[in-house]
Amino acid sequence: MSWLERATLVQALRAVVIYLWFLARQRDLMASGALAGPDGLTLLGWEMLLLIIATVVVGIVIQIIATVFATVVEGESVAAIEDERDRLIEARATVKGFGVVGLGFLAAVLALWQGWGAVWAFNLLLAGMVASDILVNLLKFLRYARGG
Amino acid sequence: MAKGRISNTIRRLRFDAGEMTQKDLAEKVGVTRQTIVAIEAAKYSPTLELAFQIAHVFGRPLNEVFMWEPD
């Protein structure tokens, strides 16, 4: 398995770690009552923005490190770093990931219907997206481990 | 659609081509070595375009490189 293929497992771990950090912050904010009321949604928006920035930045750093290892250690040419098999594996995993995002959206709608409030709805939506991110990377890793 | 399995003779063809390495073949057709490994092990079926490219590298017709066997 190449460094880039192994990196998919690290990407899944990245999503878990960053989301746990986000959840810990959410727990503290909820306990302090900072997420209550209209200002709570503004704060939640900022927190989610931080989560997205952290996810993207760390994801890019992991990809750069994996690419450097792939080219330097394995001697892969940069042009052949992603090929048709990678794209097929990515596409198959992404389709399943969309299903999880859909479940998160459904859970958010149900939460609103049950009167749980916007903070919970947004959190369920986000949880679906994070779960999808983790699932996509794990599926990619498993397919790479199997060979295709 | 009828189920089947695509096998190939790439390993033997590489041997006949002076022990061409998987990495060499991968570079000639523009894919990763891991993809060649997966194709050789019949774990991944290449696109028609890649299959033709691999056959072209060995100077053989497609049906001498890839074979379809019904289950």
Going by the DSSP 8-state scheme, the letter that residue B7 receives in this structure is E
Per-residue pLDDT of chain A (148 residues; tens, 9 = 90+): 777 777 888 889 999 999 999 999 989 998 998 888 888 889 999 999 999 999 999 999 988 888 888 778 777 666 566 789 999 999 999 999 999 999 999 999 999 999 998 989 999 999 999 999 999 999 999 998 887 6
**Number of domains within chain B:** 1
Per the structure, the count of domains in chain A is: 1
In chain B, how long is the greatest CA-to-CA distance? 39
Distance from CA of A79 to the nearest CA of B (A): 7
Distance from CA of A51 to the nearest CA of B (A): 33
CATH code of the domain covering residue B34: 1.10.260.40
Closest CA to B36 of A143, A69, A83, A63: A83
What ipTM is given for this predicted complex? Answer: 0.85
Q: pLDDT at position A99, please? A: 96
* Tokens of residue B49, six digits: 């375009």
Count the Cβ atoms, other than its own, within 10 Å of residue B15.
11
Say if the Cβ atoms of A147 and B37 lie within 8 Å: yes
pTM of the prediction?
0.82
Query: What residues contact A77, with CB distance under 8 A and at least 6 apart?
Result: A71, B27
Choose from B32, B35, B40 for mutation: most chain A CBs within 10 A.
Answer: B32
What is the DSSP code (8-state) at residue A83? Answer: -
Task: Report the distance separating Cα A124 and Cα A46, nearest Å.
Answer: 16
Range of the domain at B36: 4-70
Q: Which of A5, A80, A147 sits opposite B31 (nearest CB)?
A: A80
Residues of B in contact with A86 (CB under 8 A): 32, 35
Q: Are strands B4-8 and B66-70 parallel, antiparallel or unpaired?
A: antiparallel
Using CB atoms and an 8 Å cut-off, which of residues 10-49 of chain B contact chain A? 23, 26-27, 30-35, 37-38, 41, 43-47
